[in-house]
Chain A
Amino acid sequence: MIEIKNIEKYYASKGVKHYVLRHVTTSIKKGEFVSIMGPSGAGKSTLLNILGMLEESTYGQYEFMGEDVTTLSERKRIELYRNHIGFVFQAYHLIDEMTVYENIEAPLLYKKIGNSERKSRIADLLDRFNIVAKKDLFPNQLSGGQQQLVGIARALAAQPSLILADEPTGNLQSVQAEEIMELFRKLNKEEGITIIQVTHAEKNAQYGNRILHIADGVVKDDVQVG
């Protein structure tokens, strides 16, 4: 699904290059659940952003589903977001002015899904995540765990094949964090959704089946789990 070769990212300042990522080469197959780990400032988030095409690498090749995406127009990229990629953020990033229902509905609207199909999908997601009663509340009326559930529901609404999660449990208490990770494992196992997450916690990484250890912008270790 994802092939990256010799990805480099650096910031040039006063003629000096500050490397964030160096020579990152890896491939991620469909159905994998990959955790990117490493100390602060190692370049985990940058790598995830590059995979999610939120940032561009300064050098290297990136093929997404067999297509070279290093130089992709904004329109094409957004098409990928609509159809293939769902994002989950540490700070949830729900839209404060929208209700739970509307937050989940938004990506379907952009994807131009018909009214009845939309309704049934949202009902299904609300039901599955047990948040039917919350559907008319605004994000600030929910707990952090509930907000992240909505965030994941929103990411799933467009039925993506890949979920990119940047420390999805970073702001959560451990019980809620476990629930979220269980959910990820279930999505990966039962629906075959590819998941790439950035995490600090070894415990969270154990839910997946592969760990990329990054330090100082270089992949130090690539291990299979479980």
Chain B
Amino acid sequence: MFKLNLKIALRNLWRNRGITFINIGGLSIALAAFILVMIYAAYETGFDKSNPNYDRIYQVGRSMQDLKTNYTPPPLAQAIKDNFPEVEAVGKMKSGAFELPLFTNEGTVFTQNFLMADYSATQMFKIKPDYGLEKPKGESVSLFLPRAYMQTLFPHKKDNKPELVGLASKSAGQSGEVIGSVFVDPHSNISFDALYISNDLGKGEDYGFNNYQTYIQVKKGTDIYNLEQKINKLYQTELAKNSGNDDRFKSTTIFLDPLKNLHLKPKTGSDANYKVLISVSVLGFLILIIACINFTNLSIAQAAKRAKEVGVKKVMGAYRVQLAIQFLTEILIQCIAATVLSLIFAELVLPGFNSLFLVNLTIWQSNSSLIWQLPLILFFITLIAGIYPAMVLSGFKPAAVLKGNFQTSKQSYWLRNSLLVIQFSIAVIFITGLLIINSQLKYMRTQDVGFKADQVIYVKNIALFSDPAIFEPIREKIMKISGVKSVTVTNSIPDGSKLGTNTYAVDAKKELISFLDVDFDYFETLNIKLKEGRPFSKEFKTDAVNSAILNESATAKYGLTNPLGKTIRGCDMDYKIVGIIKDFKAQGFEKAVEPTIYTLKNPCGNPKTMIMIKIEESKMSETLASLKNQWLNINPKDGDNFRYQFLDQLYGKLFQKQEQLQSVFFAAAILTIFIAILGLFAFAKYITNGRIKEIAVRKILGASDLQIMKLINTSFFTMVILANLISWPVAYILTKKWLGTFAYRIEMPVLPFIISALITILLTIITVSLQATKAVKAKPVDALKYE
């Protein structure tokens, strides 16, 4: 029996292969999206999950009035360990973010993210160097590097003995010992590209040194809330003991943040990842559900063809449940095919997905749970997609269907209409959203940002050039290279990084404003426009001492109408304002340009290390080559490695998040409109099948083809208009909210709404007309001769 049903199912699917193809194709695309979302979700929620103590590790954080931080003082860890038996282990870590060159005669690597950890922290996070880890003795530290770095530095290394590497630059003559290589788990919250392991960290530092991350591992069944209170109390007493009457920390409390939250929604950071994950999951789920319901619709649309079979089988002695199982089997076959196809689709789009979300996922290795999840999904989509058609089809009454003039009933008409409207509403929201995102991004790309990052390179450097006099010889040497237009040095480049802030006063009016320390030719290098006054110039001896330039926002903040020559006071210095520049968007479009003061000399700022060079476009490659060749001569303190990045690329990274959003919306818009059109296709078929006789009669009465086309299209046209009307306000509110996150944005455009309406209407008319043509072209006599 099962074999026969299977055979008939396959014959049936083959006979209607057009619909079958659409059915399976639509479902598999949605399923592929869902699978991607699933492995993405599994990846995002799986950080450190391989750690056997995953559920028992917590990060200790401090909560101040308006700030939560995971920087904790080093003695706290030991105090926790000493006082609370339920804490099995404590670990401390400290990370350094500046770039440090490590070199041998064979090669050079640049560590971006080195981590110092005490021995117990490495044990807690199962960080295992390749040849094992001996507990460092006494005060000694052990340096470990990732395998790739070791390969670069020691390509011929065969043994596991420690090696020496040079640190920073050759001229500094420093070296250190590398113990060996270590595997860096990319799927862990603990990331580094150089690791120092020591017995203890922060020895001798007291409760004022909030520079360390503290992790604790608790025993099973520990009451975390209770422990949190106890640690907080301990912290308060220790604070009182150590820092006496310093009441800055009095209001600070301790909290514990579980390891499983650290990646997605740390208490001390942004939960943007979590929000992205939730919205992507909802999206994937929605698409799958809509595709399943669509599948249902397509199946029922063909019901008329199967009605006779049901009637005949029933009078031959088939129970309803047997028929229901038969239809479910057919749908199961299609779902299996869709699942297989979806895995192929998912595999195909995975590289794009990975580069979009900056992850490295694979379908099989990353998530072995897919092996049991997939059959489960298959089971559920078969149920969701199959239950309704199975019930409807198996419920046909033989007397009705065998009479010969059976028409599929009008039942569930409302359900299907609303479903179609909902599908189109979602599609319209995504299309409108996509169009508005596009316009904003286009605006951001074409709008004048106030400076030109093109052909400007940022040269990395660790030598300090805070005094213009020190930088001057270097500038002279660089300027001699042909193709170099201008050179400057600063302590922050316009790549979106936040500037330092300080209080400055003009005429006793105090304001907190940003400051940037620059060198001569800063404004020229970035082509920033001057509004009034003059730029910094070597001709004025005082510029290197106490001249300042403000931007427009700063003058506005102080309410200065005639700022030139006025004195601005801050950081124990009196500056004379010599120029006003026009605002430029160093932080991108999301934040308004901050009131900023630009000075050559600033005792409060970080040292100037970041060199920027403007190069002629036509001589770019040769100039870069010359710079590379002569760099040691130019910059003897850090000249071994000429490392540079293009400023426009760095600035372009500010757009990355929005471009990600754009891609997600693009995919969602295409998917939803595709699925909606599939649904419409089925629905139109269903409706025209039901109206074949009506169409025939109208034709006999003299209706033209066009009139009949109009007749069939009208109801669909109404539904699409309705969908547009529903989704416009939703799209308006959502995009308005999104645009609100930009300080510089377009006015809400009207065109996207009209365009998405036109797109949906056009697609609807084409789809419906394709179906209607068959009915219209059919000879009326064929439709009417039965009975």
Contacts and interface: CB of A to CB of B under 8 A. Distances in A.
B309 A95 contact: yes
Contacts of B12: 97
Given A55-B399, A102-B4, A81 B316 contact: yes
A54 B315 contact: yes
A21 B226 CA distance: 83
Nearest to A91: B404
Interface in B1-33: 1, 4, 7-8, 11-12, 15
B304 to A, nearest CB: 13
Interface string B308-348: 11011111111110100000000000000000000000000
A110 B402 contact: no
Interface residues of A, number: 31
B4 A95 contact: no
A93 B317 contact: no
Given A93-B312, A95-B309, A97-B309, A107 B317 contact: yes
Contact of B316 (A54, A91, A154): A154
B9 to A, nearest CB: 9
Contacts of B316: 81-82, 87, 106-107, 110, 154, 158
Most buried by B among A54, A75, A90, A107: A54
B348 to A, nearest CB: 34
Interface in A56-85: 74-75, 78-79, 81-82, 85
Interface string B385-400: 0000000000001110
Contact of B317 (A54, A81, A90, A105): A81
A89 B404 CA distance: 10
Interface residues of B, number: 26
Interface in A85-124: 85, 87, 89-91, 93-98, 102, 105-107, 109-111
A200 to B, nearest CB: 14
Contacts of B319: 74-75, 78
A109 B1 contact: yes
Contacts of A146: none
Contacts of B402: 54, 89, 91, 93
Contact of B311 (A85, A93, A98): A93
A34 B15 CA distance: 40
A212 to B, nearest CB: 20
A45 B402 CA distance: 11
A192 to B, nearest CB: 22
Contact of B314 (A45, A78, A102, A105): A78
A49 interface: yes
Contacts of B1: 109
Contacts of A89: 402
B4 A81 contact: no
Given A78-B317, A106-B316, A110-B318, A97 B311 contact: no
Interface in B414-472: none
A148 to B, nearest CB: 14
A154 B315 CA distance: 11
A90 B404 CA distance: 10
Contact of B11 (A85, A87, A97): A97
A85 B1 CA distance: 21
A110 B322 contact: yes
A94 B311 CA distance: 11
B398 A54 contact: yes
A52 B11 contact: no
A21 to B, nearest CB: 14
A94 B308 CA distance: 9
B318 A98 contact: no
Nearest to A80: B317
A92 to B, nearest CB: 10
A79 B398 CA distance: 15
A93 B308 contact: yes
B8 A98 contact: yes
Contacts of A95: 8, 308-309, 312-313
A110 B317 contact: yes
Contacts of A109: 1, 4
Contacts of A55: 399
A74 to B, nearest CB: 7
A91 B314 CA distance: 16
Given A74-B320, A95-B309, A110-B322, A49 B315 contact: no
Contacts of B313: 95, 106, 110
Most buried by B among A55, A85, A95: A95
Contacts of A106: 4, 313, 316
A79 B316 CA distance: 10
B406 to A, nearest CB: 11
Given A95-B309, A98-B8, A81 B315 contact: yes
Contacts of B397: 54
Nearest to A52: B315
Contacts of B399: 49, 54-55
Nearest to A49: B399
Contacts of A78: 314, 317-319
A160 B308 CA distance: 22
A48 to B, nearest CB: 10
Contacts of A85: 315
B303 to A, nearest CB: 15
A100 to B, nearest CB: 14
Nearest to B1: A109
Contacts of B322: 110
A82 B402 CA distance: 18
Given A55-B399, A89-B402, A109-B1, A97 B15 contact: yes
A140 B315 CA distance: 21
Interface string A184-217: 0000000000000000000000000000000000
A87 B315 contact: yes
Interface string B367-403: 0000000000000000000000000000001110011
A107 B751 CA distance: 63
Contacts of B320: 74
Contacts of B317: 78-79, 81-82, 107, 110-111, 158
A156 B309 CA distance: 18
A158 B398 CA distance: 19
Contacts of A81: 314-317
Nearest to A102: B4
A74 B395 CA distance: 11
Nearest to B312: A93
A107 B4 CA distance: 12
Interface string A19-63: 000000000000000000000000001000100101100000000
Interface in B284-318: 308-309, 311-318
B764 to A, nearest CB: 33
A58 to B, nearest CB: 14
Interface in B639-678: none
Nearest to A74: B320
Interface in A146-203: 154, 158
Most buried by A among B12, B15, B308: B308
A97 B4 contact: no
Most buried by B among A97, A106, A111: A97
A105 B318 contact: no
A75 B12 CA distance: 27
Nearest to B8: A97
Contacts of B312: 93-95
Given A45-B403, A82-B316, A94-B312, 5 more contacts: A89-B402, A93-B402, A98-B4, A109-B4, A154-B316
24 contacts: A45-B403, A52-B315, A54-B397, A74-B319, A78-B318, A78-B319, A81-B314, A81-B316, A81-B317, A82-B316, A93-B308, A95-B309, A97-B12, A97-B15, A102-B8, A105-B4, A106-B4, A107-B316, A107-B317, A109-B1, A110-B313, A110-B322, A154-B316, A158-B316
Interface of B: 1, 4, 7-8, 11-12, 15, 308-309, 311-320, 322, 397-399, 402-404
CB-CB nearest 5 A-B residue pairs: A82-B317, A54-B399, A110-B317, A107-B316, A81-B317
